[in-house]
Amino acid sequence: MAKAPSRPFQFSLDARSGSARAGRFTTPHGPFDTPAFMPVGTHGAVKAMTPDQVRATNAQVVLANTYHLSLRPGEELVAKLGGLHAFMAWDGTILTDSGGFQVFSLPKVEIRDQGVRFKNEVDGSTVDLTPERAIEIQNTLGADIIMAFDECTPYPADEKLARTGVRRTLSWMERCLKAHTRVHEQALFGIVQGSTYLHLRESCAQSLIAMDLPGYAIGGVSVGEGHELLCRITDHTAPLLPEDKPRYLMGVGLPEDILAAIGSGIDMFDCVIPTRYARSGTAFTVRGKIRLTNRKFRRDRYPIDASCECSACTGGFTRAYLHHLFAANEVLSAILTSIHNVHFYQRLVRESRQAILEDRFDDFRNQFMAAYAGSGKSE
């Protein structure tokens, strides 16, 4: 079985609080602290935010999407313009996903052991995406952390389908390792699949661990399973992964999901929720979610969250003003609410890290959730 060659990537654990971990992962574009939340920049941009605005939220690492960037503008153009960091003006760490999640969610996808065939959503041409091609695109884009091409098993799935997904995921991982050429510049993470079948998760994890990868992800937990199943899968799978490597839970999620997963020993997260919710007028606060489009905020003189230090909350922008912006369909509504929501998520993981360093994570989580959920339904 192939093994990943050694790379100049370092992960150090600074503290534990129960199973929760505080660490640091060093990449060619600098270190980032864990637990870490990665804002999603699908097309090379976090929606409705400039790179400086993203930095101001204390984000240290962002995610970009291999599939979308390969379709438009194309990885070769990105490379000619200096690589992904220069292209999107982000000098910190970047992670690119393999594109598998997006591809498997497309209609009329043909999945074979060789790879995946589908229609290009831009021009309608037939595209074959293989493990080799996914790695080639990511090598060309130049992100610091790249993801293996895996089969993202849908939910619900019977055991036969889940087993096939694990078999392909492991076979494709081997091919990804062989295709990976920039081994000293990019850390290639493997992805544990297996749907809701814990014995399949375990066997997949064991096979990936034998390859001695620089990091490991848990995939297929943000495709509709819900909070309880997510927790069950994560609680079982995270302890199986090496203690001296970063652990990444893909596509998660809501604050309650993130806190539960940190408690299980997860280090890294990404999700579109902060910016997607922001564009529809939903803001996260320490007292729960609020809908700024709700008429009750039309005369509200308070900021989104009086306890928040983001520029949207400290810049004199009231809930009444934001309500007006959404009603008027002004783009500033999405900008300000996105700034706040991404800052809220960064604050969540930063305060979680501090609680771990002080060995009080369980107390912090309980206190946060009591305030967050205690206000009842979202306003």
Q: Which of 25, 21, 20, 14 is nearest to 61 (CA)?
A: 25
* Positive or negative torsion for Cα 125, 130, 131, 137: negative
How far apart, in whole angstroms, are the C-alpha atoms of residue 314 and residue 341?
14
Tokens of 274: 């902060």
SS3 109: coil
Three-state DSSP class for 270? Answer: strand
Query: What are the angstrom distances between the C-alpha of 14 and each of 264, 269, 278, 328?
Result: 16, 18, 33, 48
Catalytic hit among 97, 144, 150, 257: 97
Residues in Cβ contact with 22 at an 8 Å cutoff, skipping those fewer than 6 apart: 13, 14, 15, 16, 33, 34, 35, 353, 356, 357
Task: Record the tokens describing residue 200, joined without a space.
Answer: 């399949």
> In the annotation, is 300 catalytic?
no
Closest CA to 258 of 35, 18, 39, 12: 35
Catalytic residue from among 33, 270, 300, 305: 270
How many other CB atoms are there within 10 angstroms of residue 309's CB atom? 10
Half-sphere exposure of 121 (CA within 13 A, CB side): 13
Clarify whether 270 is annotated catalytic.
yes
* DSSP codes joined into one string, 10-63: EEEEEEEETTEEEEEEEETTEEEEESEEEEEETTSS-TT--HHHHHHTT--EEE
Catalytic residues: 97, 270
